[in-house]
Amino acid sequence: MSIVLITGGAGFIGSHVASALLARGHEVRVLDSLIEQVHGGSRPARLAPEADFIAGDIRDADTVARALRGVDKVVHLAAEVGVGQSMYAIERYVSVNELGTAVLFQQLIERPVQRVVTASSMSIYGEGLYRRSDGGLAESVERIEARPGAWDPRDADGAALVPVATPEWKRPALASVYALGKYAQERLTLTVCGAYGMEGVALRLFNVYGPGQALSNPYTGVLAIFASRLLNRRPPLVFEDGAQRRDFVHVSDVAEAFAVALEHEKAPGQVFNIGSGEHRTISEVGTLLAQAMGSPLMPEITGKTRSGDIRHCFADISRAERELGFRPRQDFAAGLAELAEWVARQEAVDRADEARRELEARGLVA
């Protein structure tokens, strides 16, 4: 069994990864600065008490050096996580996500570990993969203009494109400051680990949901944002027409993927999509969540676009299935019922309007 450091381990995904690793007999240490937007400043109750906790910033070299003492493996999750917010809090996002990862690897050169598994993101793909009407695949699709009646990307001749599951080989298209940072984290992990005899792995997570996601952080986790609205008796706010497709993967399946990626002999040097392998529209999940929470409210379709938003992206998870034996287990309806039950026991400040105003003030919503 190993001693595992989880950076950002007090967060939503981190606390589930901590529990999954403790259940497998690992020792867990967490380094987390407990940022206000996520935690309100205190160690969350859901973080297992057996996890050793160090409060500190990933950008602080001395703290990172202390956190790495005696550690065999690292799960790197510490990050600022709002795509929209990254488009105006640029310095903060580059500092935490890129410089923070650089500080971690600078310290790892002195104190190498066996393996580092980093959380990357589906956001690095930009638009997902599409199929053209002639049957060929289109992997560099971009929306020139997104407007009512013309939300979906089209090929160069204006013909319709059909979204298909996105595999790891699709070229990245970094459409936000957040995506740029996640790609830097992923590449730093593979490059520096490769150069110093460590094993590096990156998991490209799709839309993760489940109990424990910060309900009052309006910048991340569409299901958490919708839940927070519904809890406050307001309809979920849906951008565009709500027909954009995503892959929602339960946090327990993601935690399992990290546990496997830390151990599996085939993982090193690779990137893996981690999703459910299913796709749904945003309107549909808003409606299903409202039903699961017993709310009569329906999603409100705003018809607005956010700068950097993509239309469709959902996961091809065949590499993780084939190489790691990854099998998402959580049924979506059961996952929503569990989320609704957890949400009913929470208090959430609904900051969705505030977040939208921040983006609108900077011309990032049209």
Ligand X SMILES: NC(=O)c1ccc[n+]([C@@H]2O[C@H](COP(=O)([O-])OP(=O)(O)OC[C@H]3O[C@@H](n4cnc5c(N)ncnc54)[C@H](O)[C@@H]3O)[C@@H](O)[C@H]2O)c1
Structure tokens belonging to residue 62: 């001395």
Segment interacting with ligand X (CB under 6 A) among 3-11, 168-176, 226-234, 280-288: 3-11
Segment interacting with ligand X (CB under 6 A) among 55-63, 141-149, 226-234, 301-309: 55-63
Spatial distance between the Cα atoms of 225 and 349, rounded to a whole number of angstroms: 10
Q: Nearest-CA neighbor of 270 among 162, 353, 167?
A: 167
Confirm or reject binding of residue 328 to ligand X (CB under 6 A).
no
Spatial distance between the Cα atoms of 174 and 123, rounded to a whole number of angstroms: 7
Choice from 78, 177, 188, 293 touching ligand X (CB under 6 A): 78
Q: Which residue is nearest to ligand X (CB)?
A: 11
Confirm or reject binding of residue 14 to ligand X (CB under 6 A).
yes
Confirm or reject binding of residue 184 to ligand X (CB under 6 A).
no
Choice from 57, 139, 155, 284 touching ligand X (CB under 6 A): 57
Q: What angle do CA 134, 137, 143 make, to 5 degrees?
A: 100
Structure tokens belonging to residue 147: 């407007």
DSSP string, 294-360: T-----EE----BTT--S---B--HHHHHHH-------HHHHHHHHHHHHTT------HHHHHHHHH
The three-state secondary structure class of 27 is strand
The three-state secondary structure class of 108 is helix
Return the residue matching tokens 């065949």: 318
Spatial distance between the Cα atoms of 275 and 316, rounded to a whole number of angstroms: 8
Segment interacting with ligand X (CB under 6 A) among 26-34, 45-53, 67-75, 125-133: 26-34
The three-state secondary structure class of 361 is helix
Segment interacting with ligand X (CB under 6 A) among 51-59, 65-73, 277-285, 325-333: 51-59
Confirm or reject binding of residue 59 to ligand X (CB under 6 A).
yes
Spatial distance between the Cα atoms of 203 and 121, rounded to a whole number of angstroms: 7
Between 161 and 212, CB nearer to ligand X? 212
User: Binding mask 107-146 vs ligand X (x if CB under 6 A, - otherwise)?
Assistant: ------------x-x-------------------------
Confirm or reject binding of residue 252 to ligand X (CB under 6 A).
no
Confirm or reject binding of residue 79 to ligand X (CB under 6 A).
yes
Q: Which 192-211 positions form the footprint of ligand X (CB under 6 A)?
A: 205, 207-208
User: Binding mask 254-293 vs ligand X (x if CB under 6 A, - otherwise)?
Assistant: ----------------------------------------
Choice from 81, 227, 237, 289 touching ligand X (CB under 6 A): 81
Which residues on neighbouring strands pair with residue 112, listed in sequence order?
none
Q: Which positions lie near ligand X, rule CB under 6 A? A: 8, 10-14, 32-35, 38-39, 57-59, 77-81, 96, 100, 119, 121, 182, 205, 207-208, 214, 221
